[in-house]
Amino acid sequence: MNKKIAFIGAGSMAEAIISGMVRAEIVDNEKIIVTNRSNRERITRLEQRYQINSMMDKEKLTTDTDIIILATKPYDMEQAIDSIKAYVTTDQLIISVTAGISTESIQELFGIEIPIIRAMPNTSASIGYSATALAAGIHASENHMKEARVLFETIGTTEIVDESDMHIVTGISGSGPAYIYYLVEAMEAAAISSGLDRDTAKSLIAQTILGAGEMLQQSEDTAAALREKITSPAGTTQAGIESLKRNDFQKIIMECVQAARDRSIELGNEK
Ligand SMILES: NC(=O)C1=CN([C@@H]2O[C@H](COP(=O)(O)OP(=O)(O)OC[C@H]3O[C@@H](n4cnc5c(N)ncnc54)[C@H](OP(=O)(O)O)[C@@H]3O)[C@@H](O)[C@H]2O)C=CC1
Ligand SMILES: O=C(O)[C@@H]1CCC=N1
């Protein structure tokens, strides 16, 4: 892809995407440029680590750039857009990974009818395993979406969704890795309290999650059918699952995802 790509925001999500793109060699490294609000040490570190470019001069950064990726926190979006909007034109493509903020709000902040795509990746992007959802704003064409897909496929899989579904997507796959890590913390604690050493527990749990994920991807079976295949009558799994049911596991997880979705809606209203 012969495109110049600028990242506005140089935090953990920007780095996860940059490292995936650099590894996939999708564009020449020097065509990836990163900026932030004030932390020069951080952008210099990214520049050295990935052999990309960094600069604080927003005019120079934005002019001639094909794709601008907004990767700030939601409450910093307005200031970030203010700092570049004088140099942005409608033949550029804006991609926002910021949770909650709609393409309509982003367009209002730019004040021009510009192509905007929202992307919701997750931090597994840094090893090429993101599950990224993409949603088109009203001025984004099919070609823009194709371009976004090519970019985000360098960091994992992509799904196209309606923008109205971005809140629930954020609750599932944007925040999702954190729920899995929290589950792992609990499983590790249980293993350690029964005398297993931490490294062995971590290794067994990580491979178990990886294997279960691959099974979900590769098997025709539903999650419920896969679970049932493990659950021998009166066996260990049944004992474990019954404990989860007694403790309202499904309700807890549904509330967790809904809370994240609702927070995404709030973030959009707070901007
Ligand atoms: N982390 C995750 O798992 C995911 C995050 N996201 C979304 O990605 C976005 C970024 O998250 P994350 O990377 O974790 O956040 P971080 O806090 O790690 O990074 C935010 C970055 O934004 C920069 N920034 C703030 N204000 C401005 C500004 N006015 N102009 C330019 N840059 C600015 C900060 O610069 P400085 O340090 O100089 O202030 C910093 O580099 C969030 O909106 C989040 O919703 C989406 C999917 C997953
Ligand atoms: O916690 C957050 O707000 C961001 C969005 C998805 C993952 N992290």
Instruction: State the ipTM, two decimals.
Output: 0.98
DSSP string covering 93-147, please?
EEEE--SS--HHHHHHHHTS---EEEEE--GGGGGT-EEEEEEE-TT--HHHHHH
**Residue 155's Cα: distance from chain center in Å?**
10
Ligand 2 centre and the CA of 73: distance in Å? 9
Ligand 2 centre and the CA of 61: distance in Å? 26
Ligand 1 atom nearest to CA at 170: 47
Residues within 6 Å of ligand 1 by CB? 8-14, 35-39, 42, 71-74, 76, 79-80, 83, 97-99, 120-123, 174
What is 5-168's CATH number, 3.40.50.720, 3.40.50.2000, 1.20.910.10, 1.10.40.30?
Answer: 3.40.50.720
Ligand 2 atom nearest to CA at 174: 6
Query: Cα separations (Å) of 68 from 35, 204, 270?
Result: 11, 41, 23
Ligand 1 centre and the CA of 161: distance in Å? 23
Ligand 1 atom nearest to CA at 178: 3
Ligand nearest to C-alpha 69: 1
The pLDDT score that the predictor gives to residue 264 is: 96
- What letter represents residue 224's amino acid? A
Delimiting residues of CATH 3.40.50.720 domain(s) in the chain: 5-168
Cα distance between residue 112 and residue 231, in whole Å: 57
Query: With left for phi above 0 and alpha for psi between -120 and 50, is residue 32 left, alpha or beta?
Result: beta
SS3 of residue 26 by DSSP = coil
Delimiting residues of CATH 1.10.3730.10 domain(s) in the chain: 176-269
Ligand 1 centre and the CA of 12: distance in Å? 7
The pLDDT score that the predictor gives to residue 237 is: 98
Q: Which positions make up the binding site for NADP(+)?
A: 8-13, 71-74
Ligand nearest to C-alpha 72: 1
Cα distance between residue 271 and residue 105, in whole Å: 9
The pLDDT score that the predictor gives to residue 236 is: 98
Ligand nearest to C-alpha 98: 1
The pLDDT score that the predictor gives to residue 170 is: 98
The pLDDT score that the predictor gives to residue 20 is: 87
The pLDDT score that the predictor gives to residue 126 is: 84
What is 176-269's CATH number, 1.10.3730.10, 3.40.50.720, 3.40.605.10, 1.10.1040.10?
Answer: 1.10.3730.10
Ligand 2 atom nearest to CA at 170: 6
> What does each of the 271 residues of the chain score in pLDDT, given as a tens digit?
889 999 999 999 999 999 989 998 989 999 999 999 999 999 999 999 999 999 999 999 999 899 999 999 999 999 999 999 999 999 999 999 999 999 999 999 999 999 999 999 999 998 999 999 999 999 999 999 999 999 999 999 999 999 999 999 999 999 999 999 999 999 999 999 999 999 999 999 999 999 999 999 999 999 999 999 999 999 999 999 999 999 999 999 999 999 999 999 999 998 6
Residue 249: its H or E element: helix 249-270
Ligand 2 centre and the CA of 136: distance in Å? 20
The pLDDT score that the predictor gives to residue 271 is: 62
